[in-house]
Copies of this chain bind each other. A is one copy, B any other.
C-alpha cells in the first residue's frame, strides 16, 4: 500500500489520513468535487487570501476530530477504533451537500433544500457504494448513535466543524483577532454523562472562542462589501433564471444549465438518480464561467450586473437598526431612476436584507462546563463575568444595498 497519507496544511502543519476507509472517502469524486468549492464563496472580494475550499476545511475538521478523540482517550474514556474512524468519517463528509456559493445559489435554484439534507443523501449513496461501511458515521451524523457526545462533536455550538472553520477562515483572511486557540480548547474537552463538556479551567478559552466567533461574523461573514457582492450574485442568478424561463437563449455550462431551468426539491433527489450526479458536477467554475459569459449578453440588466461583479465595481450598503421603510427606500429608487433605470429593473439594483450575529445561543444545546465539584453548568451560568451574558444577545441589523454607479450597457 502506497497511499499518500500526509497532507501539508498551512494551518495545522500536517494532516494525516489515518485509515483506508478515510483515504477512500477523500479519493471519491464526491469529495474531490469539494476542491472546486470555496469555503467562503465571494469573500475574496474583501480578503484576497480567502480562497480555501470546503475540501481543505473538511480535512481540517477531520484532523481536529482526531486530536479531540485522542484527548478524550487520554482522559480515560473508551473510544474504540471503529468509533474513532466513524467520527472522523462523519465530520469529513459533513459538508458534502454544499453547492457553490452555498446560500446564494441555493436560495435561487433550490429554495427550501438545505445542504444538510443533500449531505445525507450523498452519505447514504456513498454508504451503498461502500457496502455499509458508513453505517456508524451516518448514525453519528444524524444523532442516532447511542453515545451522544459524538454527535455533539460533529454538530453543536462547540463542534469540530466550527473550530476548524473559525480557525481556517481567520488564518486565510488574515483576521488574526479571530483566532480561537483551538489547540487549548481541545485539550479542555471532556465527557460527562455522555455529553461533550469543557473543564472548568477552560472557561476563559470558551469565552475567547465565543468572542472570536462574534468578531468573525462582523469582520468577515457579514462584512459590508461581502454582503454587497452576495446581493449582486443573487440578482444575477434571478435575472439569468428569469431570462431562461422566458425563453431567452443564455450561455451556461452544461452542469449549470439544468439548474437554471428547473427548481428542484429534496424529493427530486430521491426520485431522480441522475440528479445527484448533475449536482455533483456543479461547482464554482460553472458559476464564474457563466457570469463571465453573461457579461456580454444582450440583456443590459444581466450584462451590467455581471460586468460590475467581475470588475469589482460593487453595490454600496447602508445599515439600519430597524427594517427600512418606504421613507428610506424611496430616495434610493429615485436616484436609480435618475441614473437611467426603469421601474421594472429597480429590483435588480436595490436590495434589502437582514443580518444576525448571535455569538452564543443559550436556548439551543448549550456549551456545558464541568465544574471542579463535578456539576455540569451552562457556560453562561458558569462564568461570573457579565460578558458571556452579553454574547447571548442576538444582534440584528437591516441593510439596503444599491448600485451607486450603474449605467446599463446595450
A residues with a Cβ closer than 8 A to B are 6-11, 13-14, 18, 27, 29, 32, 35-36, 44, 46-49, 51-53, 55-56, 59, 74, 171-177, 179-181, 183-184, 187, 204-205, 207-208, 211, 214-215, 218-219, 251, 253-255, 281, 283-286, 288-289, 292-293, 295-296, 310-312, 321, 384-387, 389-391, 393, 395
* Cα–Cα distance between A32 and B14 once the two chains are bound (Å): 33
Copies held by the complex: 4
* Cα–Cα distance between A184 and B395 once the two chains are bound (Å): 24
Verify A286–B292 contact, CB threshold 8 A: yes
* Cα–Cα distance between A206 and B288 once the two chains are bound (Å): 37
Task: Contacts A11-B49, A214-B387 known; list 4 others, CB within 8 Å.
Answer: A14-B174, A51-B52, A254-B292, A385-B395
* Cα–Cα distance between A393 and B385 once the two chains are bound (Å): 9
* Cα–Cα distance between A46 and B218 once the two chains are bound (Å): 33
Q: Which residue of B lies closest to A397 (CB)?
A: B384
Task: Specify which chain B residues have a CB less than 8 angstroms from the CB of A173 in the assembled complex.
Answer: 8, 10
Q: Which residue of B lies closest to A28 (CB)?
A: B311
Task: Specify which chain B residues have a CB less than 8 angstroms from the CB of A176 in the assembled complex.
Answer: 179, 181
Question: What are 23 A-B contacts defined by CB distance under 8 Å?
Answer: A9-B48, A10-B174, A14-B174, A14-B183, A29-B310, A32-B311, A35-B48, A36-B288, A48-B53, A176-B179, A177-B180, A177-B205, A204-B218, A208-B215, A211-B387, A253-B253, A253-B292, A254-B296, A283-B288, A283-B292, A387-B387, A387-B391, A390-B390
The contact of A48 among B55, B174, B180, by CB within 8 Å, is B55
* Cα–Cα distance between A335 and B32 once the two chains are bound (Å): 28
Verify A13–B174 contact, CB threshold 8 A: yes
CB A209 to nearest CB in B, in angstroms, measures: 9
Verify A48–B177 contact, CB threshold 8 A: no
Q: Which residue of B lies closest to A38 (CB)?
A: B51
CB A223 to nearest CB in B, in angstroms, measures: 11
Q: Which residue of B lies closest to A291 (CB)?
A: B285
Verify B172–A177 contact, CB threshold 8 A: no
The contact of A53 among B51, B219, B285, B292, by CB within 8 Å, is B51
The contact of A386 among B14, B171, B284, B393, by CB within 8 Å, is B393
